[in-house]
Amino acid sequence: MLALEGIKVIDLTRLAPGPYCTMILADLGADVIKVEEPGPPTGRRAEQAGQAPEMNLLMDQGSPFNVLNRNKRSIGLNLKHEDAREAFYKLAETADVVVEEFRPGVSKRLGIDYQTLSGINPKIICCAITGYGQDGPYRDLAGHDINYISTAGALGAIGEKDGKPAIPLNLLGDFAGGGMQGAIGILAALMARERTGRGQFVDIAMTDGVVSMLSSALSGYFLTGEVPERGATFLSGRFPQYNTYRCGDGKYLSLGSLEPWFFANLCRAVGREDLVPHAWDESHHQEIFDYLTGVFQTKSRDEWVDILRQTDICVAPVYQFDEVERDPHLIHRQMIVEVEHPEVGKVKQTGISIKLSETPGGIRRPPPRRCQHTDEVLRGLGYTVAEIERLRREGAVL
pLDDT of residue 55: 59
Distance, CA of 59 to CA of 13 (rounded, Å): 11
Distance in angstroms (rounded) separating the CA atoms of residues 101 and 178: 10
Give the contacts of 380 (CB within 8 A, at least 6 positions apart). Answer: none
pLDDT at 356: 98
Cβ atoms 248, 296 nearer than 8 A: yes
Contact 367, 71 (CB under 8 A): no
Of the listed 27, 113, 145, 174, which one is catalytic?
174
pLDDT of amino acid 64: 80
Whole-number Å distance between alpha carbons of 193 and 213: 26
Under the phi-then-psi rule, with left for phi > 0, alpha for psi from -120 to 50, and beta for the rest, what region is 6? left
What is the spatial distance between Cα 223 and Cα 244, in angstroms, rounded to a whole number? 29
Q: Which residues are bridge partners to 202 per DSSP? A: 127
CA distance 78 to 82: 9
pLDDT at position 37: 87
Active site residue 144: yes
Q: How far apart are CA 325 and CA 281, in angstroms?
A: 39
Predicted local distance difference test score (pLDDT) of residue 343:
87
| Same CATH fold assignment for domains 8-212+335-393 and 242-323 | no
Residues 6+ apart with CB under 8 A from 260: 279
Give the start-to-end residue ranges of the domains of the chain.
Answer: 8-212+335-393, 242-323
One of 60, 83, 144, 302 is an active-site residue; which one?
144
**Catalytic: 285?**
no
Q: How many residues does the chain have?
A: 398
pTM of the model as a whole: 0.94
Give the pLDDT confidence score for residue 58 in this predicted structure: 53
* pLDDT tens-digit profile, the chain (398 residues): 999 999 999 999 999 999 999 999 999 999 999 999 876 655 555 555 556 666 555 556 668 878 999 999 999 999 999 999 999 999 999 999 999 999 999 999 999 999 999 999 999 999 999 999 999 999 999 999 999 999 999 999 999 998 999 999 999 999 999 999 999 999 999 999 999 999 999 999 999 999 999 999 999 999 999 999 999 988 999 999 999 999 999 999 999 999 999 999 999 999 999 999 999 999 999 999 999 999 999 999 999 999 999 999 999 999 999 999 999 999 999 999 999 998 899 999 999 999 999 999 999 999 999 999 999 999 999 999 999 999 999 999 99
CA pair distance 123, 125, nearest whole angstrom: 7
Report whether 228 contacts 167 (CB < 8 A): no
Phi-psi region of 135 (alpha: psi -120 to 50; beta: other; left: phi over 0): beta
d(CA 124, CA 297): 59
Rg (C-alpha) for the chain, rounded Å, is 25
Lateral strand order in the sheet of 201-205: 72-76, 31-36, 8-11, 97-100, 125-130, 201-205
8-212+335-393 is classed CATH 3.40.1030.10: no
Positive or negative, the Cα torsion across 165, 168, 171, 174? positive
Candidate CATH numbers 1.10.630.10, 3.90.1150.150, 3.40.50.620, 3.30.1540.10; the one for domain 242-323: 3.30.1540.10
